[in-house]
């Protein structure tokens, strides 16, 4: 009986061992199918089978304490942490995939997006190369040489051509508009100066008047003429006693017309024949370039060149930024229109009164004339002075300017020109 008992126990142990061994073989085969890549990536095992066995070794990456590969589930192939551990098989012990094989491919036990970010200085896909040194970045990125000192700004992307410049965007890797310029400049049309008109004459003066005396009462037979100023009573004497007088003239003098501009001057905006726009502020954390930075390659319509710039007409610094371009960013605009102007007033006239008297104080025997060219008989001087004067008289002239008259406008004329100014120097890499 005792022997039978021990034999039975031994039989159970053998069966258990056989089951364990059989399970080990199945797990090993599964890893050969699923975890085999892990064995190859780790490099220590010679086959998927040995990778499976490694799961039961002392350092298996199982989730329980039995040391069996992928112990969290019934087999290593579907363990949540991945079958095969970090033992001799080299398969992943902490892989994020649902099978040992997928985690084993990492060969370093870590998770990966499999996509390289080309501007952050990190080996995102863990292939040992960062950014511009990674083949994933060859098509869309290139190395920008370091920007030299001395006031140079860069690296920059730039566009030049005719028409409206493209926008600087985050999508093209250079999001900030840094500077604009051009080369030749011209007017889109001729300048237009305002039309001019003139207001009515203002400030016209009636300062003097002239009277002609005659020996006849109907202004026949000239006896000389006298010019009087407006306002005060003016006494005068004559060698003969006139019997007639005619108001000969009352000229209007002085005055101006106020010029008026019909509209504002129009100066068409200048047009750059060739335009340039530079975009900047790319991310500069991109690596794989030595001293430079990995930045986005530019696509049309932007130039493939990378540039630096500085204000002024300068030589390019030594180094890769050696291709020099000179642009101008400002406009010297001296265009102007002259002011409207008017000629002096013409055809102006005065109207009022010319009154003559037989005494020297403008009080006795008034003779009034009310318009130019009017003729009137004069009263004889009742108290003539002694010879050689035979007549003593006085006159008073008062008048105002009429609303008549006009000025001729002097047109506004254009002058000046436009020219480009404020140079900047762009120094770029070879195309």
Confidence grade of residue 86 (pLDDT, cut at 50, 70, 90): very low
pLDDT tens digits for range 140-151:
999 999 999 999
Structure tokens at 318: 């030594």
Q: Does 322 lie in the same domain as 212?
A: yes
- Among all chains, which residue has been given the structure tokens 């960062």? 130
Q: Does 77 lie in the same domain as 159?
A: no
Q: Does 181 lie in the same domain as 255?
A: yes
Q: Does 99 lie in the same domain as 163?
A: no
Q: Does 166 lie in the same domain as 94?
A: no
Q: Does 84 lie in the same domain as 202?
A: no
Q: Does 193 lie in the same domain as 77?
A: no
Which residues are bridge partners to 272 per DSSP? 185
- Among all chains, which residue has been given the structure tokens 């000229």? 251
The answer to whether the pTM exceeds 0.85 is no
- Among 104, 129, 145, the domain-final residue is 104
Distances (CA, A) of 286 to 124, 199, 298: 12, 73, 16
At 310, is the secondary structure helix, strand, or coil? strand
For residue 94, being part of any structural domain is answered with yes
When divided into structural domains, the chain yields a total of 2
Q: Does 100 lie in the same domain as 249?
A: no
For residue 125, being part of any structural domain is answered with no
pLDDT tens digits for range 7-55:
333 322 322 333 333 333 323 333 233 333 333 333 333 333 333 333 3
For residue 120, being part of any structural domain is answered with no
For residue 139, being part of any structural domain is answered with no
pLDDT tens digits for range 320-349:
999 999 999 999 999 999 999 999 999 999
Domain coverage including residue 84: 2-104
Distances (CA, A) of 345 to 248, 249, 302, 341, 426: 21, 18, 64, 12, 60
Q: Does 169 lie in the same domain as 98?
A: no
Q: Does 248 lie in the same domain as 376?
A: yes
Q: Does 266 lie in the same domain as 373?
A: yes
For residue 209, being part of any structural domain is answered with yes
Q: Does 38 lie in the same domain as 176?
A: no
Lowest-pLDDT range of 83-97, 186-200, 326-340: 83-97
Alpha-carbon span 258 to 283, nearest angstrom: 64
For residue 429, being part of any structural domain is answered with yes
Structure tokens at 179: 């500077």
Structure tokens at 82: 């991945």
């Amino acid at each position: 009986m005792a022997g039978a008992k021990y034999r039975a126990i031994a039989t159970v142990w053998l069966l258990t061992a056989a089951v364990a061994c059989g399970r080990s073989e199945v797990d090993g085969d599964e890893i050969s199918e699923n975890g085999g890549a892990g064995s190859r990536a780790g490099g220590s095992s010679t086959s998927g089978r040995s990778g499976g066995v490694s799961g039961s070794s002392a350092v298996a990456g199982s989730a329980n304490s039995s040391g069996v590969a992928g112990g969290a589930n019934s087999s290593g192939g579907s363990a949540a942490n991945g079958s095969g551990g970090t033992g001799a098989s080299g398969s992943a012990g902490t892989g994020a995939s649902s099978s040992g094989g997928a985690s084993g491919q990492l060969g370093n036990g870590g998770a990966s997006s499999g996509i390289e970010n080309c501007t952050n200085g990190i080996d995102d896909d863990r292939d040992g190369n960062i950014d511009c040194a990674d083949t994933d970045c060859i098509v869309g990125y290139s190395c920008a040489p370091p920007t030299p000192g001395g006031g140079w700004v860069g690296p920059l992307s730039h566009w030049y051509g005719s028409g409206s410049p493209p926008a600087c965007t985050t999508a093209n890797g250079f999001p900030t508009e840094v500077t604009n310029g051009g080369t030749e400049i011209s007017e889109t049309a001729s300048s237009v100066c305002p039309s001019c008109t003139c207001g009515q004459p203002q400030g016209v003066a009636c300062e003097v008047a002239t009277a002609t005396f005659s020996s006849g009462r109907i202004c026949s037979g000239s006896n000389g003429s006298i010019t009087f100023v407006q306002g005060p009573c003016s006494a005068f004497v004559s060698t003969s006693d006139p019997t007639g007088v005619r108001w000969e003239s009352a000229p209007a003098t002085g005055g101006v017309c106020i010029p008026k501009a019909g509209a504002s001057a129009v100066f068409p905006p200048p047009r750059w024949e060739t335009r340039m726009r530079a975009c900047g502020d790319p991310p500069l954390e991109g690596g794989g370039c030595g001293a430079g930075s990995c930045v986005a390659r530019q696509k049309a319509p932007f130039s493939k060149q990378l540039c630096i710039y500085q204000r002024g007409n300068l030589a390019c610094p030594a180094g890769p930024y050696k291709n020099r371009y000179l642009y101008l960013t400002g406009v010297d605009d001296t265009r102007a229109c002259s002011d409207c102007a008017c000629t002096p007033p013409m055809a102006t006239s005065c109207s009022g009164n010319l009154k003559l008297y037989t005494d020297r104080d403008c009080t006795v025997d008034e003779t009034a004339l009310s318009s130019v060219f009017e003729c009137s008989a004069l009263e004889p001087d009742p108290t003539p002075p002694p010879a050689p004067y035979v007549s003593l008289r006085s006159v008073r002239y008062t008048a105002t300017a009429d609303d008549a008259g006009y000025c001729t406008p002097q047109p506004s004329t254009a002058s000046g020109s436009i020219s480009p100014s404020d140079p900047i120097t762009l120094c770029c890499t070879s195309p």
